[in-house]
Structure 1
Amino acid sequence: MRTKMRERGGGKRGKGVTMVVCVVCCLAMMGAEAVTYENGETVSMFANKVGPFNNPSETYEFYNFPFCEAEKKKEKLLYLGEVLEGDRLVNTPFKIGFKEDKPDEKLCSQEISAEQHKLLKHAIENDYYFQMFFDHLPLWGFIGKVDKGHEVKLFLHTHFDVHYNGNRVIEINVATDPSRVLDLTESLKLGSVTAEFSYSVKWKETNIKYENRLDKYSRFSFLKQHLEIHWFSIINSIVTVLLLTGFLATILMRVLKNDFMKYTNEDLEADDEDESGWKLVHGDVFRFPENPSLLAAIVGIGTQFLVLTLCIFILSMVGIFYPYNRGAILTSFVVLYALTSGLAGYCSGLLFKQLGGKNWVRNNILTSGLFIVPLFLVFSVNNSIAWNAGTTAALPFGTICIMVVIWALVTMPLSVLGGIFGKNSKLEFNAPSRANKYAREIPSLPWYRSTIPQMVMAGFLPFSAIYIELYYIFASVWGHKVYTIYSILFIVFLILIVVTAFITIALTYFQLAAEDYHWWWRSILCGGSTGFYILGYCYYYFYYRSEMDGLMQTSFYFGYMGLVCYAFFMMLGMVGFRASQLFVRSIYRAIKCD
């Protein structure tokens, strides 16, 4: 089922403090304007796509199937985010006049060949659904059914119940007539069969205001039992934070306070033979790590993703991402990623310079490609699979060109400029103590103080604070649920950041107390370890909580979720590194080291 896709997308450009404003304006323009109709005026209906209910990424153009076409086929111009979501809107032959009831209207007589017969039978057996838009309102229906006797039947008649308030459309529901079907059980060997498609329309008045017409799509998120689960998730996360905070307070208020009182006025070098602990590694704790360019790049990109995520939350809470604002989240992600690339370049360049790096060009290239290159590789594989399958998930050549232009004219230049500003910055590292000429030998440590066990411990608590909310997010992204409680999600995200910072600080303290001063990379690995837990949950959700299957759906799911987990690793790794850096600076500044 190969298709030709000619949709185009677009993006907005902006910089500096106007970034969020530009994105808000861009997405606001994408929202559907309030349209008023005169009695009898035709209300537009667009067909979007058809696909198996269990595989949300595997969708095909509506007219790949033998349905009635409009006399003049016109494809609707789409925004970038709509194309990325796989939308392909085309006009339909339905003639629905405002407030005009139609008890039974013939749509067309459609010849169904043997090949099309086989295609329809396969689609019905695999629960294929269709999606349309009527006055920007989405509606769905199944194209057929399988009876208990394993009879495969194609629906021929569609009924629309349309609700209006004044001169505006408020709601639409679609239903099929189970008595008007075409039996496709027996496969056609020769010739063709004729299907007589028809439809009916019933208009009803309602008191629902136009501003509230999308409320029904988000009603699932606000059911009492679901709200209770969401609040339980938040309470569970808050308890985790309080326990962890109390644990850290005990360390800081008791252990460190005693250490400060003991060592503030003593010469540490004189006591090296008799004492042990974090005080003794003051001459090595600020020794710069190996691979400073890679470490700086991870911190820079992690900072970019943290700012990008916060901007997404700001847009969500001001009402930009209302239900079925097609492609709004993907458009905002693309625009914000491009605009925040300068921040990644700056933070990476600055840290690389502070760590004594000289080859800033290599560092800038690494920062620019550390996420984009894996994204490009995953996209190339997935787009090739989607193109071979003929699905709408395959991006058109024009859209790919637009993405390349955005990267070449916005993302890459801003990243380079940010790197230049970072390397030219006068901010110094300013370590509280000087590094000794020769590195101190690290004592032999038990296995549970090695990197992997520490990562397992570090990722468990942050993941336990978010795992309940993960199901609803996955059901929204990889299913047909609608997620709208962004305020709760924002609270959970803040808790995730706080817990990650606290647990990384605690593990850094224990590491230094064991006289292991290699905290730089350990803090990133421990902070980002939650990404591996999320990756494990991805596996669990795919095989035990969903019914997704097939090569294309599997490649899309694990490919793009792997990238999401990779982004979480860098973002939370940056949080762990910055928290540990602040902690280490604070404790060594509080004692007399030189």
Structure 2
Amino acid sequence: MPLFAAWAWVGALALVALRVQAWYLPGSAPNSFIVNDPVPVQVNALQPMAGATPVHGLVSYDFYDERLGFCRPTDGVKAEHGGLGSALFGDRIYNSAVQLRMLEAKSCAVLCQTHVSAEQARFVNERIRERYAVNWMVDSLPVVDIDMTKGDGSLRTNSIGFALGTFLDARGHVLPTPALYNHYVLNVSYHERTPGEYRVVGVNVRPMSLASVPPDQAPGATPTCEAQAPVFLSPNASTTVAYTYTVHWTKSDTPWATRWDAYLHVVDARIHWYSLLNSTAIVALLCILVALIMARAMRRDIYRYNAIDLAEDIQEDYGWKLVHGEVFRAPSSPVLLSVCAGAGAQLGVMVCVTLVFALLGFLSPSNRGSLGTILVVAWTLLGSVSGFVSAKVYASLDGEQWRRTMLLAALLVPTAVFGLINLLNVVLVFNQSAGAVPFGTLLALAALWFLLQVPLSLVGSFLGLRSGGLTHPVRVNQIPRQIPPMPWYLRLWPSALLAGILPFGAAWLELFFIMNSLFGNRVYYAFGFLTLTFLVTALTTATVSILSCYCQLCAEDYRWHWRAFITGGASSLWLFLYGTFFVLARLNLPDMSSQILFFGYLLLISSLAFLLFGFIGFAACYACVRRLYQHIRVD
């Protein structure tokens, strides 16, 4: 029933997406212009961008933050209301003071003149040192620095936006005071679809720092773009800054339907392929070896266990058969184990649904916020999977506290996730960050949780309890047997950490690109590689979990339930350690707020990964143990 419901939700979401994307996939409907038609220019929040130096912060800032002092539109600032995912991912999109008209070239057009106070100068100079990026969009197409583009129009890296300023001179020496970029040379590429009908297919910018208003010039004089000296913001006095821009138009043969290809180009695809092929080869060899060894060992064990020695009246059991009366004994904390298994199953189906939409092209960055929307909607609608699996597992463990299981399946994990998100949101609000989730969005999340996810989870739990638990091939003894001492390498945490290295090794390189996207303002669109990596990692997790469980049973330790879950999710511990190494090697977060944000997000990602892969390990071991004990004869 939950599987059918999951595919039903997939079909429903696909129909809705197809309805919304009826014009073009991925993206939105194209905009056509004629000569002198206004071309929309929008701005987004400032975020730190990855470059030659480490990223110095994780706090994004509103483009029209008073501390930045950018020019405002003459008709007032107007916000563009995006979707749920756009709000969660920190998009704060507004109209711009830049005025573009199709095929209208401009030279040194003045946006405005501002007086930057000493306090504003200190704030802007610090953001320049932290390599913050300015994000513009022309006809919904991100503006990129011209130095980041190749001759064919594709990007050298997946970074978008352009630097707020520079702290280096032409020779690469550090300036005593950072120079602010206040002149922008825009180069807009257009495609002529039909005579007189044009579409924007590309845009880049060369930001420059020009002291266009010399100190000795009379107030109100027209700025000049012929200045050679850069403009510096004094941290001790007010500075007059003139923002100007120049517009060039370039004809292009690129059609509108492929204008995002330059942004979605996978940089260094060979690295992805080499890593994926290497991981696949290692995993395939591991699976073959484990299958051969275990098939041979279990076949030999089953033959000896089922053999009857007619000369002896009593046959002595040993190995994993010796614990046949204990192997299906309920573990400690069965309610918590069942709830964690249900949450992991829900995450697994959510990941599969999201990857399906990604492979179909619905999650292109051109459809801003679609990834966050799909994740939230899929998580909410798949609450029935969590309830059904948790109730099914708990019924299989012969539990009696089914009411508590139903309640915790609906509330425990969502409460923990929602609570951590709110704590991180408080940090963002305290820093006046544009990434802070609005209060209305939080209310929408709470409404989705209580009005959809909780009822669906309760319905799933009811169906799971009604279907009953899984039948076990052997009975459980009334008195538990004593567990013999085990060597150190077979104990829970040493064996789990050793087993977690293999799944992490299959995915670490893709994790590097994902972290660069999350914390470096880079576009990630390698969903094909991500899908294959997820499948390889899941297969590796299942294999090492089964092998660890078999070794444990051979050592006469029947407490395999929690061990299987922890072994499956142990790769998340290596993920957390890798994230710590990443922040030390690739980031430079001197302030406490950025450190709290990074480790808070890392803890959230690692915890969800633990639940997901822990369920994969637990489910694989459960199926293997049931299959194993079906083939022995118990007197």
**Shift of residue 156 of structure 1?**
2.4
1:123 pairs, out of 111, 127, 131, with 127
2:162 pairs, out of 131, 136, 141, with 141
1:63 alignment partner, SS class: coil
2:340 paired with 1:298: yes
Q: 1:138 and 1:24 mapped to 2: Cα distance?
A: 27
Aligned position for 2:106: 102
Aligned position for 1:67: 70
Aligned position for 1:85: 89
1:575 pairs, out of 597, 616, 619, with 616
Contact 1:230 1:469 in 2 (8 A): yes
Gap change, CA 1:570 and 1:347, over 3 Å in 2: same
Deviates more, 1:29-38 or 1:524-533: 29-38
The count of residues paired between Structure 1 and Structure 2 equals 573
Aligned-CA RMSD value = 2.2
CA offset digits 1:75-94 (Å, max 9, x no partner): 11111111111111111121
Aligned position for 1:160: 186
CA offset digits 1:382-439 (Å, max 9, x no partner): 11111011001111111111111111111111111111111122x4421111111211
2:230 paired with 1:230: no
Gap change, CA 1:171 and 1:391, over 3 Å in 2: same
Contact 1:308 1:340 in 2 (8 A): yes
1:383 pairs, out of 425, 429, 434, with 425
CA offset digits 1:168-196 (Å, max 9, x no partner): 0000111123444663353334xx43322
Contact 2:427 2:597 in 1 (8 A): no
2:475 alignment partner, SS class: coil
Aligned position for 2:10: 20
1:188 pairs, out of 231, 236, 258, with 236
CA offset digits 1:28-69 (Å, max 9, x no partner): 638332111111000111111124432574111111121111
Gap change, CA 1:186 and 1:249, over 3 Å in 2: closer
Aligned position for 1:402: 444
2:320 pairs, out of 278, 283, 295, with 278
**Shift of residue 130 of structure 1?**
1.0
Q: 1:27 and 1:564 mapped to 2: Cα distance?
A: 27
Deviates more, 1:256-265 or 1:345-354: 256-265
1:150 alignment partner, SS class: strand
1:217 pairs, out of 252, 263, 284, with 263
Contact 2:182 2:242 in 1 (8 A): yes
Contact 1:151 1:183 in 2 (8 A): no
**Shift of residue 485 of structure 1?**
2.1
Aligned position for 2:208: 177
Gap change, CA 1:249 and 1:97, over 3 Å in 2: same
2:292 pairs, out of 250, 268, 271, with 250
Gap change, CA 1:580 and 1:68, over 3 Å in 2: same
Which structure 2 segments of 5+ residues have no match? Answer: 22-26, 50-54, 144-160, 193-197, 213-229
Aligned position for 1:325: 367
Contact 2:180 2:233 in 1 (8 A): no
Provide the identity percentage: 30
Aligned position for 1:7: none
Contact 2:411 2:454 in 1 (8 A): no
Q: 1:319 and 1:193 mapped to 2: Cα distance?
A: 48
**Shift of residue 238 of structure 1?**
1.7
Amino acid at match of 2:456: L
Which structure 1 segments of 5+ residues have no match? Answer: 1-13
Q: 1:560 and 1:463 mapped to 2: Cα distance?
A: 19
2:523 alignment partner, SS class: coil
Contact 1:233 1:468 in 2 (8 A): yes
Q: 2:273 and 2:314 mapped to 1: Cα distance?
A: 51
2:10 paired with 1:40: no
**Shift of residue 249 of structure 1?**
2.4
Amino acid at match of 1:124: I
Indicate the structure with greater helix content: 1
Gap change, CA 1:424 and 1:161, over 3 Å in 2: same
**Shift of residue 530 of structure 1?**
0.9
Q: What TM-score, normalized by structure 1, do the two folds share? A: 0.92
Contact 1:349 1:419 in 2 (8 A): yes
1:159 alignment partner, SS class: strand
**Shift of residue 497 of structure 1?**
1.0
CA offset digits 1:285-328 (Å, max 9, x no partner): 11122211111111111111111111111011001122343211
1:320 alignment partner, SS class: coil
Deviates more, 1:272-281 or 1:511-520: 272-281
Q: 2:69 and 2:104 mapped to 1: Cα distance?
A: 27
1:60 alignment partner, SS class: coil
Amino acid at match of 2:33: Y
Q: What TM-score, normalized by structure 2, do the two folds share? A: 0.86
Amino acid at match of 1:484: Y
